[in-house]
Structure 1
Amino acid sequence: MASVLRDPPPCHASRCVRRGRFPNPARRSGGYRVGKLQTSPYPPDPTLCNVTEFDRRVSWSAPNGEEKTLATRGREEGPVSQPRSGPTVALRCFGADLRRRREAAGMTLQSVAEKIKKDRVTPARWENAETVPNPRMVGVLLDLYETPADERAEVLRALAEAKKPGWWHPWREVAEVGVIDLESAATSIRSYAPGVLPDLLQTTEYAEALMSLRNPYEDPAVRRLRLELLEARKEHTIGDGNGRDRAGLWVLLEEATLRRRVGGAGVMARQLDYLESRIADVRSSVAIQVIPPRVPHPLAISLCGHLEILRFKEFGMGERLIQIGLHPSMTLITDDSDAVENYRMAVDVTSGFAPPRFTPLPLTSKDFG
């Protein structure tokens, strides 16, 4: 049996072992190797190890001696379960509804906690969509708030909806749940893309070439999952472009983004053809504006980086600002009204320097040979 190294490097996985978050490997025969440095009798939990490159960082030996990774485990045993990266829109709306009912009843969080014999933080977590109460406890809260009988059934239906897994559940192993859930529930998405095309406008070939640049060592099986998720994400968010669009997508692009080659000439040519088809379709809710390179548009937008501003129809769901980083862990989501307003103003002003929607792209597929 492999043994734990006495002086492991200061990585997150090794700290987990030293702090007892992984079971003691000496208690069982066989073990799992985390980063090829640590052992544990159980498959490693990627949420504890902060693992993103499943195939390279986490591997273990199966009982038959075969070397396995989280990616192969996902293909053989189903996707690896991970916690939410943020509450769903349905859960946020449910929590906001509980807060409105409590305030309408004239009760504080402390008084509610005393009535239900819980700590004050418990009802606060329910209202902030950090945890989900069970139906029995929701019934107790509705009694405290003197909720009419005809409304109780609707609240319980909203609770059941908030507990349902999202459509992305089959791909939860590779999904950025917070971003995907917000996009799927949005009625309007405004995007500024200064570097590469936004995910929702990428063809499969373009997306695959971009993934290869970002992580050339990624397991092909994991990459296929990401590509499948991208196609499903586009379908659920902006529709198929045949008059069945869902959210309105308004994208502001720098011309340099279109000229920046991702993949081969054929990949870029087909990507431009796809964008042109979206622009030419008057039924589509996708709007694309391209900022010419010589236009002296405000510097402020250039400091933003890739961003999205999302608007929702649900009552109590304010606009969200998403700043997209190179790695999912660097993506930031905020509902701060001042931040959202500043970024929206920067996008509004800059869009005035670009030709209107339906304007043909400044280059075509022929420019890539």
Structure 2
Amino acid sequence: MSRERSGSTVAHRVLANRLKTLREGAGLSRSQAADALGAHQATVRRIESATTSLDEGQVQTLLRAYGTAPAEIDEFLKDLATANLPGWWHPWRAVMEPWQQALMGVESAAGLIRIWEPAVVPTLLRTPAYARAVDDIRRSHLPRQDREARTELTRERQRRLRQAHTRIWALMSAAALLTPVGGPRVMAEQRRALAAAVRRGDVTLQIHPLDGPLHVLAGQPALMLYRVDVPEIPDHVVRDGGLPGTAEISNEAATVTSYHMLFDHACLVAPHPDTSMELLT
């Protein structure tokens, strides 16, 4: 699977696409844009694909070469300055997993997140106590303060997704409800939190029963599918890499479409979301 460049944010991609549109609208080739920039056309290609940082000076030179109006140039540069600000997740970078650093901008802009979790409660639906208990087992090698910071990051991710009205469609195994994590009180609180999330309306939860039929995601590692409602940003899939903190990322259309189809098939086999409340209460 392809790797996402960590510095590439949704805002940068949108601006890069605007640059490409302005160049094409001006009737200039990449070679001509490169001449105006005094660089190789590969530089323009990287700028327009957001695989390199957007330098203010280069951007301004290109916009002038494209005949962009001064007011539009000013607006573009203001948007660029905003895009260059550190993301809200910056204070937690030291405890973030590599894939999170690569895709937190995409997650923050997502309109829909689809999740398959085979064994435990999905991260974006965990209570702080449950999240802490999972890390105490899976990441016991980390200092306590780092594990606490990771719990804070999870809580902040959840808060911001709710604030952005991001829809979450989670598919999980009933095994997660029967596997003791953190003790009875933690599990009881987690069940209540799942039920509250479903009632809130922004979460669709389907739970595969232990005696249910075999489905296409059975035995597959956890995965997340991100959909951003911005034409310039493709869907992304994150597949658990097996070892703690590892994951495979792809935004290749064929790969992402295959995982969407697997998710659709598994959802068809799973009980209707309404029945999840029966298992949680």
Normalising by the residue count of structure 2, what TM-score does the alignment of the two structures yield? Answer: 0.88
Establish whether residue 202 from structure 1 lines up as the match of residue 126 from structure 2: yes
3-state SS of 1:314 partner: coil
Q: Take 1:179 and 1:113, find their aligned partners in 2: how far apart are those partners? A: 30
Give the alignment partner of residue 264 of structure 1, picking from 169, 173, 183: 183
Give the alignment partner of residue 305 of structure 1, picking from 218, 221, 234: 221
Give the alignment partner of residue 165 of structure 1, picking from 86, 91, 110: 86
Establish whether residue 274 from structure 1 lines up as the match of residue 193 from structure 2: yes
1:238–1:249 CA contact under 8 A, matched in 2 = no
- Structure 1 vs Structure 2: percent identity of aligned residues? 32
| Stretch of structure 1 that moved more, 337-346 or 113-122 | 113-122
Q: Take 2:139 and 2:73, find their aligned partners in 1: how far apart are those partners? A: 49
| Alignment-mate amino acid for residue 208 of structure 2 | I
- Mark the runs of 5 or more structure 2 residues left unpaired by the alignment: none
Where does residue 13 of structure 1 map in the other structure? Answer: none
Where does residue 139 of structure 2 map in the other structure? Answer: 215
| Stretch of structure 1 that moved more, 142-151 or 253-262 | 142-151
3-state SS of 1:359 partner: helix
| Higher helix proportion | 2
Where does residue 38 of structure 1 map in the other structure? Answer: none
Query: For the structure 1 residues 115 and 329, does the alpha-carbon distance in structure 2 shift closer, same or farther, using more than 3 Å as the test?
Result: farther
Query: For the structure 1 residues 297 and 155, does the alpha-carbon distance in structure 2 shift closer, same or farther, using more than 3 Å as the test?
Result: farther
Deviations along 1:59-84, whole A, 9 cap, x unmatched? Answer: xxxxxxxxxxxxxxxxxxxxxxxxx8
| Alignment-mate amino acid for residue 53 of structure 2 | V
Where does residue 250 of structure 1 map in the other structure? Answer: 169
- Mark the runs of 5 or more structure 1 residues left unpaired by the alignment: 1-83, 240-244
Shift of 1:226: 1.1
2:113–2:166 CA contact under 8 A, matched in 1 = yes
Query: For the structure 1 residues 152 and 197, does the alpha-carbon distance in structure 2 shift closer, same or farther, using more than 3 Å as the test?
Result: same
1:110–1:120 CA contact under 8 A, matched in 2 = yes
Q: Take 1:353 and 1:133, find their aligned partners in 2: how far apart are those partners? A: 46
Q: What is the Cα-based RMSD across aligned positions, in Å? A: 2.2
Query: For the structure 1 residues 328 and 256, does the alpha-carbon distance in structure 2 shift closer, same or farther, using more than 3 Å as the test?
Result: closer
Q: Take 1:329 and 1:131, find their aligned partners in 2: how far apart are those partners? A: 26
| Alignment-mate amino acid for residue 114 of structure 1 | D
Shift of 1:303: 5.3
Establish whether residue 227 from structure 1 lines up as the match of residue 227 from structure 2: no
Deviations along 1:264-285, whole A, 9 cap, x unmatched? Answer: 222112111111122233xx31
1:87–1:178 CA contact under 8 A, matched in 2 = yes
Normalising by the residue count of structure 1, what TM-score does the alignment of the two structures yield? Answer: 0.68
2:122–2:172 CA contact under 8 A, matched in 1 = no
Shift of 1:168: 0.9
Establish whether residue 99 from structure 1 lines up as the match of residue 17 from structure 2: no
* Deviating 4+ runs (over 6 angstroms): none
Q: Take 1:332 and 1:154, find their aligned partners in 2: how far apart are those partners? A: 36
Deviations along 1:188-228, whole A, 9 cap, x unmatched? Answer: 11111112222110111111111111121211111121111
Q: Take 1:224 and 1:218, find their aligned partners in 2: how far apart are those partners? A: 10
Q: Take 2:245 and 2:136, find their aligned partners in 1: how far apart are those partners? A: 18
Give the alignment partner of residue 63 of structure 2, picking from 136, 142, 167: 142
Say which one has the larger Rg: 1
